[in-house]
Amino acid sequence: MMTMAQLTEFLGWASVINIAYLSIATLALVFMRGYIFSIHSKLFGLDETDLSTKYFNFLSNYKIVTVVFMVAPYLALKVMGN
C-alpha cells in the first residue's frame, strides 16, 4: 500500500517524465519536421496535411492526459500538505 507521500512523489516524477517526453516530441516535430514527415508519410501513406493534423491531435491529447492524470493530482496532493 502506498502512503500519501509516496503517491505524491510518484505523481511528481511521473509529471516530470511526461512533460519531458512532450517537450522532446514537440521539439523533434518542430526542428526535424521534414525528416519525420518523410518517414511517416511513407510508413502510413498520409500526406503532409493529414500528418500535421495527426501530430497536433497527438500532442494536444497527450498534454491534456498529462495535466489531468499527473499534474493536477500532484498539485492537489501538494496543496493538501503531502
Give the mean pLDDT of 20-39. Answer: 96
Give yes or no for a contact between 29 and 36, defined as CB atoms under 8 angstroms apart: yes
- Say which residue the cell 509529471 belongs to: 15
DSSP class of residue 2 equals -
Confidence of residue 82 (pLDDT cuts 50, 70, 90): low
pTM of the model: 0.89
Q: What burial letters (b/e) apply to 19-48, b meaning 16+ CB within 10 Å?
A: eeebeeeeeebeeeeeebbeebeeeeeeee
Give the mean pLDDT of 18-31. Answer: 98
Q: What confidence tens digit (pLDDT) does each residue in 40-81 have? A: 999 999 999 999 999 999 999 999 999 999 999 999 999 998
